[in-house]
């Protein structure tokens, strides 16, 4: 090997490494540019640095309240789910994904990103959320991917079974499952926390995850990925969200146990644990309206996250590139805490 040849091959190894690192970090814009051979160097100049502390809306926010389950389309400002910003790079080409809570918030951001990465997407939501769901269907179809809207209430075990069966039939199989739907309703005092709410929160957040995952498992092959949405509340519970925080701890624990059980089958199971994110969950009972005005202001970054900022994490956990990532919890709390 001549020195010249050595240099050339070394450069391509370094270039390949850089591409892999960029992909692993999950910055979609960078990943797309770096994917072109020889473009890794150009990517740094093509995409200018942006300051995450000054990007996106910050508190104080306008006082607002919505009836549960809330609509993204009625929030002020509207959440950014990556509608105009997320750029895919074929990382989930041909994959088939089912998400719960895919109409709005973090689930919508993941649904948009999955479609732009080449996946067909089925998603569940409540019938009252049809206006949000319509927008997601249009966004997925705009990418030339199949969108399968599946409305219904996941507090019902029989429905959860039908949800998985319908998704599998419409998509022709299943490779990615995202258990993301949740109920969060703030109650300041334990004395006022009703058995009914306690039960509904656990049905939505924990039982449905169990029912849907159990129904999906026979359809998942080696290489499949399960992603559950937990919360900072799993390890740093809010004093006014006792029922919700307990479900999020259960989700984290279930994730880690199931990951061990399924590792030998080649199915990875991970969780995402967000801090404050600007989604309809919060103005529809998740926060008292006066607290929502300052939402996210107590994080080091000084603002809530936007759903678009979590989409690359769901893509990474779903993708083959994360083949050694299982039983993990990815925290996103704006600079504080961690699972």
Q: DSSP H helical segments within 191-268, as ranges?
A: 195-202, 208-216, 242-262
Q: Segment 98-117, which members bind ligand NAD (CB under 6 A)?
A: 100-101, 103-107
Calculated CA dihedral for residues 275, 279, 285, 290, nearest 10 degrees = 80
Q: DSSP H helical segments within 77-232, as ranges?
A: 105-116, 130-142, 157-171, 195-202, 208-216
- CA–centroid distance for 333 within its chain: 14
Binding residue for ligand NAD (CB under 6 A) from 124, 299, 306, 326? 124
Please state, in angstroms and as integers, the Cα–Cα distance from residue 280 to each residue in 50, 71, 75, 79, 178, following that order. 26, 6, 7, 9, 18
Please state, in angstroms and as integers, the Cα–Cα distance from residue 324 to each residue in 28, 97, 145, 241, following that order. 20, 20, 28, 33
Among Mg ion, ligand NAD, none, residue 159 binds (CB under 5-8 Å by kind): none
Identify which of residues 32 and 180 has a Cβ nearer to Mg ion in the complex: 180
Binding residue for ligand NAD (CB under 6 A) from 147, 281, 313, 316? 281
Place of tokens 């603002």: 303
Among Mg ion, ligand NAD, none, residue 224 binds (CB under 5-8 Å by kind): none
Binding residue for Mg ion (CB under 5 A) from 80, 103, 243, 309? 103
CB hemisphere CA count around 256 (13 angstroms) = 10
319 binds Mg ion (CB under 5 A): no
Out of 56, 86, 244, 314, which one is annotated catalytic? Answer: 244
Q: Rounded to 5 degrees, what angle do the CA atoms 69, 309, 176 make?
A: 70
Identify which of residues 129 and 143 has a Cβ nearer to ligand NAD in the complex: 129
The CB-of-180 to ligand NAD minimum distance in angstroms stands at: 5
Identify which of residues 28 and 105 has a Cβ nearer to ligand NAD in the complex: 105
244 catalytic? Reply is: yes
Q: Segment 50-79, which members bind Mg ion (CB under 5 A)?
A: none
155 binds ligand NAD (CB under 6 A): yes
The DSSP call for residue 86 is -
Q: Segment 200-239, which members bind ligand NAD (CB under 6 A)?
A: 204, 229, 231
Binding residue for Mg ion (CB under 5 A) from 89, 100, 104, 255? 104
Candidates 6-14, 49-57, 87-95, 280-288 — which segment interacts with ligand NAD by CB under 6 A?
280-288
Identify which of residues 117 and 129 has a Cβ nearer to Mg ion in the complex: 129
Q: Are 299 and 337 a contacting pair, CB within 8 Å?
A: no
Q: Are 293 and 61 a contacting pair, CB within 8 Å?
A: yes
The CB-of-105 to ligand NAD minimum distance in angstroms stands at: 2
| Catalytically active residues, by annotation | 244
Residues of this chain that bind ligand NAD (CB under 6 A): 69-70, 100-101, 103-107, 124-126, 129, 153-155, 180-184, 204, 229, 231, 274, 276-277, 279-282
């Amino acid at each position: 090997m001549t020195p010249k040849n050595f240099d050339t091959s070394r450069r391509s190894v370094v270039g390949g490494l850089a591409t892999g690192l960029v992909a692993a970090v999950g910055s979609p814009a960078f990943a797309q540019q770096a994917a072109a051979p020889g473009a890794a160097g150009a990517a740094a100049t093509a995409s200018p640095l942006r300051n995450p502390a000054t990007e996106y809306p910050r508190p104080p926010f306008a006082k607002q309240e919505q009836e549960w389950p809330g609509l993204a389309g009625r929030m002020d400002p509207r959440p950014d789910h990556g509608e105009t910003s997320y750029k895919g790079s074929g990382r989930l080409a041909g994959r088939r994904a089912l998400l719960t809570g895919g109409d709005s918030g973090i689930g919508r951001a993941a649904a948009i990103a999955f479609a732009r990465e080449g996946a067909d997407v089925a998603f569940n939501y409540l019938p009252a959320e049809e206006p949000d769901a319509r927008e997601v269907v249009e966004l997925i179809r705009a990418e030339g991917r199949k969108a399968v809207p599946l409305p219904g209430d996941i507090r019902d075990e029989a429905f959860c079974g039908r949800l998985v069966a319908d998704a599998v039939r419409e998509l022709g199989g299943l490779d990615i499952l995202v258990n993301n739907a949740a109920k969060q309703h703030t109650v300041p005092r334990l004395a006022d926390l009703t058995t009914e709410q306690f039960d509904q929160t656990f049905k939505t957040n924990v039982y449905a995850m169990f029912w849907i995952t159990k129904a999906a498992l026979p359809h998942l092959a080696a290489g499949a990925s399960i992603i559950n949405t937990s919360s900072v509340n799993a390890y740093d519970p809010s004093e006014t969200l006792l029922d919700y925080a307990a479900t999020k701890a259960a989700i984290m624990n279930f994730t880690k146990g199931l990951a061990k059980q399924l590792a030998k089958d080649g199915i990875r199971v991970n969780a995402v644990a967000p801090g404050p994110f600007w989604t309809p969950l919060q103005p529809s009972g998740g926060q008292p309206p006066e607290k929502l005005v300052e939402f996210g202001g107590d994080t080091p970054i000084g603002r809530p996250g936007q759903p678009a900022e979590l989409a690359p994490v769901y893509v990474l956990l779903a993708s083959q590139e994360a083949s050694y990532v299982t039983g993990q919890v990815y925290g996103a709390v704006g600079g504080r805490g961690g699972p």
